Structure 1
């Protein structure tokens, strides 16, 4: 089976029955949307496989060694860069900022440009969902998150935009920037 087909099949099985916070949509749709966005940035099959797998370690029973065994070192490394340490020894609302700072630091340290592409695919998909939720619920949209302060989310997404500046000439980055301005009322 081709690498990307195998990654999609694995991700579908891993995310089976899981839904997203806030809107209850199937989690696999986010993984697929992240991969579609990433496909506007590259046709590198390993990067696209990592995009579709980016939440499997963080949100399902899969681990990085399983990803490495099935999809190779590079895919596992890219997924690892995108995988957040949940810091389960702390309540999620107290660990939120530290988890996001660590994610930013991992991305900044990553030399493979594919990592930035996977991150942009993931975060642009997230921002699209936030924009839709804001249109539907207004400020109440933040109630479903552990971190309820929109300024903290604003800091995170804007900081990532700066880290992702090497992709600033792409339509995906421009949409990402536009959505930050809309979701967080920058304009």
Structure 2
């Protein structure tokens, strides 16, 4: 069985009819877009599978051990780097900064360069969505997120840009950087 095709089927089943915060689009489209971005950076099927699976544990209730059993150790490790500890003992708005700091640290510690590719696919897809929403809603867009302060989002996505600088020569990173400047009105 083709690893990427199997990962896509798994992600479709896991996400079901879930929709994304902000724009209400099907969650699976984000997973597919993250994989499409990753495919501009590599043809490594394990990295591409991890990109399409990156939210299945964090947002869709899949188990990392099931990912490991079905797709292998490396894919599970890459998905694990992208899986945020939700700190469910705290309200999401109170745990937001700690979760994002831990996610950045986890990415910086990752030894596999595929982790940066998966992260860039995920975060570029997020920024594309933010840009579209901001065009329609302006600053009101932030009200639909757990973290309603746009400066906190700016800090997070700018920090990620630094963590992803090894990919700075790629069109995907340059698009990320451009979107970051547009969304947060950087000079």
Q: TM-score range by the shorter chain?
A: over 0.9
Q: With the length of structure 1 as denominator, give the TM-score of the two structures.
A: 0.99
Query: What residue number does 2:65 align with?
Result: 65
Hey, what's the Cα distance between the residues in 2 that align with 1:61 and 1:144?
22
Hey, what's the Cα distance between the residues in 1 that align with 2:39 and 2:25?
22
Query: What residue number does 1:82 align with?
Result: 82
- Deviation of residue 22 (structure 1)? 1.5
Runs of 4+ in 1 over 3 A off after TM superposition: none
- Pairing of 1:13-28 with structure 2 (within 5 A): 13-28=13-28
SS in 2 for 1:10: helix
- Paired residue total: 187
Q: With the length of structure 2 as denominator, give the TM-score of the two structures.
A: 0.99
- Pairing of 1:101-112 with structure 2 (within 5 A): 101-112=101-112
Query: What residue number does 2:181 align with?
Result: 181
- Deviation of residue 94 (structure 1)? 0.5
Q: CA RMSD in A?
A: 0.4
Deviations for 1:114-151, whole angstroms, at most 9, x for unmatched residues? 00000000000000000000000000000000100000
Query: What residue number does 2:3 align with?
Result: 3
Hey, what's the Cα distance between the residues in 2 that align with 1:22 and 1:165?
27
Hey, what's the Cα distance between the residues in 2 that align with 1:128 and 1:182?
11
